[in-house]
Amino acid sequence: MFTLEFFTGTEMTDIKKTQHEEWSSRFAFILAATGSAVGLGNIWKFPYITGENGGGAFVLVYVLCVALIGIPIMMAETLLGRRSRQNPVNTMVLLTEEAQADKNWHYLGWMGITAGFLILSYYSVIAGWASAYVLKAFFGSFFSADAIEIKGIFYDFIASPIQLIFWHTLFMVSTMWIVAQGVSNGLEKSVRFLMPGLCLLLILLVAYAMTTSGYFQGLNFLFRPDFSKLTPGSVLTAMGQAFFTLSLGMGSVMVYGSYLPKSVSIAKASIIIASADTIVALLAGIIIFPIVFTHNLHPDSGPGLIFQTLPIAFGSMTGGWLFGILFFVMLVFAALTSSIALIEPAVAWLVEGKGLTRKKACIWSGLATWLLGFGTIFSFNNWSTFKIFDRSIFELLDYLTANLMLPIGGFCIAVFAGWIMKPHHSEEELNLPKPSHHLWKILVCYVAPLAVFLVFLHVIGIL
Ligand code: PFF
């Protein structure tokens, strides 16, 4: 059975000698990787950035990015992990040596560690919001409340640093406690009920959204592309979101791939995970935008969007009290299974590179992430007017990681798997029929790196 333990010693000989656990089945891998992929990115981030970027055209670009860039890179990242059977840093050391490539490729592992740490610092704050909303749902705060009252509840909440600090702390302590144990069986099992449960609740909420007067307006907004609303910046955001939501470009998929038995098809697993992830995001959109238009809210309300819309549904639907509690509990769990994947590379580096015990590694990385989280907390209240490059600390962290670091990481992974690695090694790992392998090669060698590159050129104004 799977345990996310890492191995000490970075010497090449040690790397080769270490034995590695394997997933019990393809299903276990898919569950854990889906657990990492499905999180706040789907339910919190996708709707609000879709709202900010004008709807349909943005969604179309996002889906295209998942299919043409996300899936091939997910396959590449998984195959790198499975080939080396090591954590990201050791993977890059080992595979660089195998391909006799430049040692600078080692930095790819480090960038992933940094990105994970930066993302978790704000991810935990938002997961804290979701945790607080479990309690609000339990105490019936949304009962019969109208849109204005719900909005008031949200703004009062984020205006209070003390409350945000409390919930952020609670979430970080829970995450680090679980990571310190090594990912437990319990958590892997919890994904088994979490995913179906979350889907069931989402379908229920879709049924509710269908009864609202703004249903078709919501669907229109989400699915009818208006290309005049698409800017270079929103194309970059859509691409960044594809990486963020699939957990790509920072070595976390590499870690999961390293536990994958040889018999499992990487292509099939990647397609299943990406499809499940996209379906959850689209369902979230189908629920949220009808509520937005029914209650005259603004689609571009920003990070608070789901906290200002879903409680309206829970406050007015039959059984809303129970569904509200269940929904936010599941959202917290979904965030937890993603957070673990975010911090694991940093913990592994502290254990292997710095020789710390796993417990100490968790304490130090957790403490650093927790402290950095204050930047995000204050972005919503005391420091809301403090901007760097016209962005609050939260916005800056999000931009730096999702829009820059993950796509750059993904670009490097595609180039490494497509150009640097010996072709027969990737063929061996993917084990695809010739035409499918050919298609993957074209996507990973040309389409994905070129798309990332062109979007970057466009954003910095060169193209
Ligand atoms: N994919 C997660 C989400 O959509 O919420 C976020 C994430 C998790 C990104 C793990 C990166 C990662 F390594």
Q: In the prediction, which pLDDT does 2 show?
A: 34
For residue 96, what pLDDT is reported?
93
- Is the beta carbon of 244 within 6 A of some atom in ligand 1? yes
Q: Is 317 helix (H, G, I), strand (E, B) or coil?
A: coil
Q: What is residue 47's predicted lDDT score, i.e. its pLDDT?
A: 97
Would you list the DSSP string of 322-377?
HHHHHHHHHHHHHHHHHHHHHHHHHHHHHHHHH---HHHHHHHHHHHHHHHHHHHH
Average pLDDT, integer, range 202-228: 95
CA–CA distance, 377 with 122 (Å, rounded to integer): 8
Query: Would you say how long the chain is, in residues?
Result: 463
Give the whole-number percent of the chain exceeding pLDDT 70. 92
**pLDDT, tens only, 122-174:** 999 999 999 999 999 999 999 988 999 999 999 999 999 999 999 999 999 99
358-369 residue pLDDT tens: 899 999 999 999
pLDDT bucket at 344, cuts 50 / 70 / 90: confident
Phi-psi sector, 255: left (phi>0), alpha (psi -120 to 50), beta: alpha
**pLDDT(180) > 80:** yes
Query: What is the C-alpha separation between 124 and 220, in angstroms, rounded?
Result: 33
Looking at residue 318, what is its pLDDT? Answer: 87
On the question of pLDDT at 1 being above 70, the answer is no
Rounded to whole angstroms, the Cα distance separating 51 from 58 reads: 9
Cβ–Cβ < 8 Å for 36, 275: no
Residue 87 above 90 pLDDT?
no
> Residues 28-79: pLDDT tens digits?
778 888 889 999 999 999 999 999 999 999 999 999 999 999 999 999 999 9
Average pLDDT, the chain: 89
Q: What's residue 402's pLDDT?
A: 92
Q: Residue 352's pLDDT is what?
A: 73
Does the Cβ of 247 fall within 6 Å of ligand 1? Answer: yes
Which of 38, 119, 369 to mutate for ligand 1's pocket (most ligand atoms within 8 Å of CB)?
119
Q: How far is CA 141 from CA 7, 39, 151, 163, 333, in A?
A: 47, 24, 12, 16, 22
Pocket test for ligand 1, best of 243, 245, 283, 339 (most atoms within 8 A of CB): 245
Q: From the CA of 374, how far away is ligand 1's center (Å)? A: 20
Is there an atom of ligand 1 within 6 Å of 245 CB?
A: yes
- Hey, which of 117, 195, 244 would you mutate to test ligand 1's pocket, going by the most ligand atoms within 8 Å of its Cβ? 244
| pLDDT surpasses 90 at 25 | no
The pLDDT, as a whole number, for residue 193 is 75
Check: CB of residue 350 under 8 Å from CB of residue 368. Answer: no
Question: Exposure of 342 by Cβ count < 10 A (0-12 exposed, 13-18 middle, 19+ buried)?
Answer: buried
The answer to whether residue 310 scores a pLDDT higher than 70 is yes
Answer yes or no: is the C-beta of 278 below 6 A from any ligand 1 atom: no
Cα–ligand 1 centroid distance for 318 (angstroms): 33
**399-410 burial, b if ≥16 CB within 10 A, otherwise e?**
bbbbbebbbbbb
Q: Which of 65, 247, 250, 277 to mutate to test the pocket of ligand 1 (most atoms within 8 A of CB)?
A: 247
When pLDDT is averaged across residues 381-385 and rounded to a whole number, the result is: 94
Cβ of 338 below 6 Å from ligand 1: yes
* pLDDT level of residue 382 (50, 70, 90 thresholds): very high
**433 CA from centroid of ligand 1 (Å):** 31
Domain ranges of the chain: 20-459
Q: How confident is the model at residue 186 (pLDDT cuts 50, 70, 90)?
A: low
Q: Which atom of ligand 1 is nearest to the CA of 341?
A: 10
Q: Which residues pair with 391 in a beta bridge?
A: 388
What residues does 388 pair with on adjacent strands? 391
Give the ligand 1 atom nearest the CA of 40: 5
| Residue pointed to by tokens 């992430």 | 369
pLDDT at 15: 47
Q: What is the pLDDT of residues 227-274, one digit of tens each?
A: 999 998 899 999 999 999 999 999 889 888 888 888 889 999 999 999
Q: How much of the chain, in percent, has pLDDT values that exceed 90?
A: 69
**Residues 377-396: what's their mean pLDDT?**
94
**Average pLDDT in the 199-222 region?**
94
Rg of the chain over all Cα atoms, to the nearest angstrom: 21
Fold of 20-459: Hydantoin permease (1.10.4160)
Selection from 116, 115, 127, 111 nearest residue 45 by Cα: 127
- Verify whether ligand 1 is closer than 6 Å to residue 42 (CB atom): yes
Whole-model pTM? 0.91
Q: How far is the CA of 401 from the centre of ligand 1 (A)?
A: 11
Taking the centre of ligand 1 as the mean of its atom positions, its distance from the CA of residue 308, in whole angstroms, is 23
